[in-house]
Amino acid sequence: MEILKAIPLIFFISKTWLQLVPKEKIIYVRMSSGSKVSVDEGVDPEGSSSSLTSVKVHRLKGIKDGQYSNPVFKKLSVINGEINRMPREELIAKLGELKLDSRGVTDVLKKRLKTYYREKKLTKAHVPTPKKSLPEFLMVIDFEATCEENNDNYDHEIIEFPVILVCLESKQVVDEFHSYCKPRINPQLSEFCVQLTGITQDKVDSAEEFPKVLRRMEDWMKSHELGAKNKFAVLTDGPWDMSRFMYHQCRQNKITYPRWGGKWINLRKAYSNFYQCRRTKLNDMLENLGMTFEGHLHSGLDDSRNIARIAIRLAEDGCELKVNEYLHYDRNENAFKSKHITPDSPKGSTSEEELNQSMDGLHLTNDGAANETEEVDDLLEYYRIQRS
């Protein structure tokens, strides 16, 4: 029975050593009385009276021998442990001493301080860091669409098209695009929609329809040489702007879904992965970073500006903002298809590089699929939100 109880611990130890041992190295896991577990590397304790289990571990592909053998990593481990034990007051004092931003919840402050020391120590130790293909600019988008209260089957149309252009090198907003769009299916805005978004009937009546606005926006992209000279990525607060609103709007207008919108950065995923916290909403992300919402909530332009502030804060804290969601591309029909990913969805046969280039396959994420129930509930709440 003691041996059976220790089996989960055996697998945990073997997994922990997976990235540290050379290829084909044998780890002997020794279970003595009392279910105490010890590990012997490369030594076959044959003939021992203790109960033994051997685990053959293959080195992960792509991890070089001795990659983390530099003593600086041991120092960083010690520093991280000290930071984890720091009370909030001490974290704030240390960040202030280093002239770093001391706003945010405790977990954010710890991550900020760890990133600072990691960059400093690796640079001082001349440890090379791999060059990664990251965007130079972010196009932050947050659409507003027609809606009715308590009507989940409503045919939504985009009525506000804002884009905030962020330079990741300077970590500043460099330009904005903004336009309202005239809806065709439901040209009269509901009272709920007006109160929620702040968009009045006269604003959409005098606006151009979506196809013309999209063309003007793409001309604006060309003026900044986005996709030509300058590498960029779309960033949104959740998956819905591109996979639902943009996708269905293009279908309604019978126009081709733009290739630049086939992949994007889901800010909620990037935020939760970097700060190691649960996925949360825009206002909560701002509050956790020690910021407050600026402007009118559910104004597309103001929402986009605040999303951009969070993205800049993430970049300043050392987060590598990279694409984490894709839209399925059907080669047979030469068109994008809106599909939601579940944990059981097939990954396809294309490599990540091919996926980035051709959009061929389902949109995949490094951290696994999104929680479907959570995202659906959030979307429904978007249309049921209480007036504030």
pLDDT in tens, 201-251: 999 999 999 999 999 999 999 999 999 999 999 999 999 999 999 999 999
Instruction: Give the amino acid at 369.
Output: A
Higher pLDDT, 366 or 101: 101
| Average pLDDT for 135-160 | 92
**Catalytic positions, please?**
144, 298
Higher pLDDT, 340 or 270: 270
pTM for this predicted structure: 0.71
Distances (CA, A) of 313 to 61, 170, 241, 316: 33, 12, 22, 5
| Average pLDDT for 134-158 | 91
Distances (CA, A) of 56 to 4, 26, 49, 324: 20, 5, 21, 33
Q: Answer whether 282's CB lies under 8 Å from 293's CB.
A: yes
Q: pLDDT band at 157, cuts 50/70/90?
A: very high
Q: Is the pLDDT of residue 61 over 50?
A: no
pLDDT in tens, 279-306: 999 999 999 999 999 999 999 999 999 9
The neighbouring-strand residues paired with 167 are: 137, 172
Output the pLDDT for position 70.
Answer: 82
Output the pLDDT for position 154.
Answer: 84
- Token pair for residue 228? 């030509």
Q: pLDDT band at 15, cuts 50/70/90?
A: low
Higher pLDDT, 155 or 365: 155
Question: What percent of the chain has a predicted confidence (pLDDT) above 90?
Answer: 57
Q: Is the pLDDT of residue 381 over 80?
A: no
- Altogether, the residues listed in the chain come to a count of 388
